[in-house]
Amino acid sequence: MFSFKKIHFEISERKLLLRLFDVLTVILALYIVGLLFKFDYFSISKANFYWTIVLGIYLNILGTVFEMYNLQTASNQYQIIKSILLTSSTTVLFFLLTPIFTPVLPSNRLQIIYFFLAITLALFIWRMFYQAFLASHRFLKRVVMVCDKNQLEELVASLEKVDPHYKILGFINTDSKGDNSVDTANVTTIEIADLNGFIKKNAISEIVIASQKTDGITVDLYNRLLALLEQGFVIREYTQVYETITQRIPVQYVDRDFYRYFPFSRSNHNKLYLLLARLIEILISLVGIAIGLYLLPFIYVANFIGNKGSLFYVQERVGKNGKIFKIYKFRTMVKNAETDTAIFATQNDSRITFFGKFLRKSRIDEFPQFINVLKGDMAVIGPRPERPFFVEQIANQMPFYQTRHVIKPGLTGWAQVNYSYGDSIKDSLIKLQYDLYYIKHRSIFLDINITVKTFSTILFYRGQ
């Protein structure tokens, strides 16, 4: 049966493929340019192999900043061309300006043109090939879902929205009280007796169990699933799939079964990690305060003209273990923006001034929070601190919300770099899923990933 499976790529495999072939195609292009033209700025040999390593590192880091490895961007022709131009330009610039690790600047400026064009064209040709073939429907991952009928549409949408190559073709209804008809497009209702035939005919790669009702898994269905499992077929639980694909914790599907997500990341109690993180935070906060002081005169004048209120804005926020602290920000709203009660800031909030929008989009309004980091109220990376009024309001509807407070809040975080502006309870739920994912998987590598993505947020002017 399983010899009929079609090839598909997991998300991690596709990202690795993109990173690897970005570097390989660029090196090949530079080698070909060296053969065809008088191009000797970048040569590949044992004596200078480290040039190739540095170029590969620059490509991967700057490609991450400019979203070359975002799968939605990689599948969009317009967006990927923009990312290629930004990545190749900055890679060439960094390579030219670091002659300690790279070749000395060429005396013939034409060499730089060859260098830039070789990198740009190599990335463009490879990425167009990726879009035409590897990102096409030829490499779909075909899945059967086992769940209740009323869950199906939301479950399908949540997975396929993040990964368009993850295709749920079939559905087994575990709701014994409902009928088997389903209105969701392109999802076939499967009778238990037809499961094996459907898997073979449609080259299904895995079955995902999403039913929360144990009585929905009948003896017949259980035995068929067990037989498939014994034959080596992949059967996975929905929350595991959701977490892997979306990089969020699906709290809306697990009720109060909090134990399913223990233990959280060991880094939360790793003294070496915490000490190293604190030392880096102090260093970053000192640099941030220095930059903020340099910008202060310009911000003061612009605030006096545009905001007409005090330069700094102080507000109470909830920190680690629920402790209340005062957060510092540059003013972005009109004076007396709130009167009787706290109000969620919305994306096009009329209370935010024109200059305030610039401060928020560029994240400059958050520079005073480096003082909070230095004081120890906040970290550089963590869940964004929320106001006590909203914490109480949201926690009444989300049993997991207070879990955000097991670590320090941060200037930036996994939710901030992965999700756009949110001004509702529904948005808060999605951000909570990202925050819990960070708390669960917290590590130096995830911190670096967030740091790099934060630069993307600033460069693409996506601040909140």
**Residue positions counted in the chain:** 464
Structure tokens at 128: 């167009």
Q: How far apart are CA 380 and CA 233, in angstroms?
A: 43
pLDDT tens digits for 292-351?
999 999 999 988 888 777 888 899 999 999 999 999 999 888 776 665 566 666 566 677
The C-alpha atoms of residue 162 and residue 299 are separated, in whole angstroms, by 39
At residue 264 the predicted structure's pLDDT band, cuts being 50, 70 and 90, is: low
Least confident piece of the model among 112-116, 181-185, 191-195, 423-427 = 181-185
Residue 443 or residue 163, greater confidence: 443
Tell which CATH classification among 3.40.50.720, 3.40.50.1780, 2.60.120.260, 3.30.300.90 matches the domain 140-246.
3.40.50.720
Q: How far apart are CA 14 and CA 22, in angstroms?
A: 12
| Cβ pair 273, 267 in contact under 8 A | yes
Note the pLDDT tens digit of each residue in 83-101: 999 999 999 999 998 888 8
Amino acid at 202: N
Dihedrals phi, psi of 51, to nearest 5 degrees: -60, -40
- When pLDDT is cut at 50, 70 and 90, the band that residue 3 belongs to is very low
pLDDT for 87: 94
Q: Supply the DSSP symbol for 261.
A: G
Surface-to-core class of residue 228, CB atoms within 10 Å of its CB (0-12 exposed, 13-18 middle, 19+ buried)? buried
Where is mean pLDDT largest: 77-91, 209-223, 267-281, 331-345? Answer: 77-91
Extract the tokens encoding 9: 């790529």
| Dist CA 58 CA 132 (whole Å) | 26
Q: Give the pLDDT score at 243.
A: 87
The secondary element (H helix, E strand) that includes residue 412 is strand 410-412
Residue 365, CA atoms < 13 Å, CB-side half-sphere = 22
User: Where are the domains positioned within the chain?
Assistant: 2-134, 140-246, 266-459
Of the candidates 146, 144, 145, the residue with the CA atom closest to the CA atom of residue 202:
144
Which of 215-224, 250-259, 406-415 is modeled with the greatest confidence?
406-415
pLDDT at 4: 46
- Asked if residue 316 lies in contact with residue 325, where contact means CB atoms within 8 angstroms, the answer is yes
Phi, psi of 142 (to 5 degrees): -95, 130
369-408 pLDDT, tens per residue?
999 999 999 999 999 999 998 888 888 887 778 888 999 9
Instruction: For residues 447 and 438, give the distance between their C-alpha atoms in angstroms, rounded to a whole number.
Output: 9
Most confident of 1-10, 20-29, 98-107, 221-230: 20-29
At residue 424 the predicted structure's pLDDT band, cuts being 50, 70 and 90, is confident
Largest CA distance in the chain: 79
